[in-house]
Structure 1
């Protein structure tokens, strides 16, 4: 039987700690070469776009995909998992909340890897992703103080008031971005820039800090100005495809401020020895990874099953009687 999981059930089934553990395993497995991952497929059409991304994680016994599309201003996300041995469908789930959790947890984990002693956080943005990153960072680091800037005064003040109470951390709303980042050891840039960026500039960065950017996932979007890419000693991305997809990376390569040969992936970062030298100026640019989505979805699925959540539906997929056989590259029999 296949189960369906709603957004509310996903929220009830998952914890930040569970998501962090799932992502940690995913990055380790990728470094060890035990996973298979597609590059993201992007489809543009009048009025919107659709993306598809898939991965196999044998250590968890699953293969799966995430499909999401934007039509007008409405974004919908679905994740599906299948048993890697039988191919049987396991679950179809709503993916918005899980994507927020995945994005925030991945960025916070990268920050904790590259700046493990950081205690002062500067945040640019006050939306869902900024809130979630602040929350996860407070679990992974010994955070003493946060500073937040958002263009609208009421938004940054609400962010500070609500999260200060929730996280037990002093959060100071700032009138401009440079004040929010002046003393920061980790800088979170999580904005909804659309086509109006960049939202963060190189001269706002203190002499040493880790910068995390999770916006600008399309070529026309900008979150970081091109000068930001000249700052770090180490640049990390989810996957190298980010350099061809993110408007930030595309613009920096064109401007000559980003050398792709100096960039490593999260899997490579996870594979570094714990006692390896740690640069003091670092940048993580995230556009997401199929493996991250499959790993956290597998965790959510198993947590939901344990808690008795989800709606069972009859198997609706039939098995094709004539099995395709690959006879050579690009050739298929039984189609």
Structure 2
């Protein structure tokens, strides 16, 4: 028997699924259907020139699926996404394939939406300023998602290693309603103490800023790395912050920001707050310290959002 497997494109996702809808799917999965600690560990295959292949399977009560993506840090030279791939969604009962979904757009959507589950619980309703390190696809997705949950956010300061790309990103953000500036116009050193959100979405191996500048109550979302030998923020910051992670064991295995801070004696795994617990009780996090959300991305997130994409995209577009 021949099975027709529909292809859901990046355009289909952008047209039919909002960040809020993806947030709801992720929050519901955590509350009703998923224990991140029991998720299948992803397989990371190292290729030449720091390229990677990631195989990320997961299962829920209704669905089974897997993502196969590549991560190519050299793609910035070609002005194409460093993360590319596909997602195969199958129903749980028969394991019949139901859709092939654009893996890059799915990754951007679920990563930003997962960040917003945290941000929506913590950011004041009058939050104003974002300090952004990076200017790639996830930077774009996070700004769009932040605007969706906090329309009060109006200022973003963009910095990165390529001045021209930072300027182009800032110009694009301005077209979407942001008062966007680049680091040359307003330095990170002057912005960080005033920022409501510090967002790092880079491939950096070393910390991007002086953590002593971060004040209590500031939300730091460190999204860029899933390697245990690379980090975007200093261990000192994690040591004096509430630290939220998707899963303790995963963070201690894969999140360089966490593993290196632990190696320096700044924290232990007992200091980490798991998303599973935070979603149930946001009061675990106060305003008396900075908050660091460190994400590496997990397979259950892809599955939850892929299922939501499948439900939201009209059958005629699949």
TM bracket, shorter-chain basis: 0.7 to 0.9
- More moved, 65-74 vs 252-261: 65-74
Unaligned runs of 5+ in 1: 311-335
Q: Which of residues 221, 227, 232 is equivalent to 2:236?
A: 227
Q: Paired residue for 1:250?
A: 259
1:159 aligns to what SS in structure 2?
helix
Q: CA RMSD in A?
A: 2.5
Q: Which of residues 43, 46, 67 is equivalent to 1:44?
A: 46
Q: Which of residues 142, 145, 154 is equivalent to 1:133?
A: 142
Q: Which of residues 79, 84, 87 is equivalent to 2:92?
A: 84
Q: Paired residue for 1:320?
A: none
| In 1: Cα distance, 2:6 partner to 2:52 partner | 27
Q: Paired residue for 2:60?
A: 57
Q: Paired residue for 1:209?
A: 218
Residue 147 (1) aligns with residue 157 (2):
yes
Shift of 1:199: 1.9
- Work out whether residues 13 and 307 of structure 1, in 8 Å CA contact, stay in contact via their aligned partners in 2: no
Structure with the higher helix share, 1 or 2: 2
- CA, structure 1 residues 37+230, in 2 after alignment: closer, same or farther (shift >3 Å)? same
- Work out whether residues 217 and 287 of structure 2, in 8 Å CA contact, stay in contact via their aligned partners in 1: no
- Work out whether residues 38 and 290 of structure 1, in 8 Å CA contact, stay in contact via their aligned partners in 2: yes
Aligned residues: 301
Shift of 1:309: 1.4
Q: Deviation per CA, 1:158-204, whole angstroms, max 9, x where unpaired? A: 333321231x23233332321231201221111132x4x22233123
- Work out whether residues 37 and 247 of structure 2, in 8 Å CA contact, stay in contact via their aligned partners in 1: no
Q: Deviation per CA, 1:80-102, whole angstroms, max 9, x where unpaired? A: 11111222111122200110111
- CA, structure 1 residues 146+110, in 2 after alignment: closer, same or farther (shift >3 Å)? same
| In 2: Cα distance, 1:72 partner to 1:275 partner | 38
| In 2: Cα distance, 1:126 partner to 1:143 partner | 18
Larger Rg computed on CA atoms: 1
- Work out whether residues 218 and 246 of structure 1, in 8 Å CA contact, stay in contact via their aligned partners in 2: yes
Q: Paired residue for 2:133?
A: 124
Q: Paired residue for 1:23?
A: 26
Q: Paired residue for 1:157?
A: 167
Q: Which of residues 185, 189, 192 is equivalent to 2:200?
A: 189
- Work out whether residues 78 and 95 of structure 1, in 8 Å CA contact, stay in contact via their aligned partners in 2: yes
Shift of 1:283: 0.7
- Work out whether residues 156 and 179 of structure 2, in 8 Å CA contact, stay in contact via their aligned partners in 1: yes
Shift of 1:222: 2.3
Unaligned runs of 5+ in 2: 76-82
Shift of 1:245: 0.8
| In 1: Cα distance, 2:37 partner to 2:236 partner | 35
| In 1: Cα distance, 2:143 partner to 2:36 partner | 32
Q: Paired residue for 1:4?
A: 7
Q: Paired residue for 1:266?
A: 275
- CA, structure 1 residues 113+30, in 2 after alignment: closer, same or farther (shift >3 Å)? farther
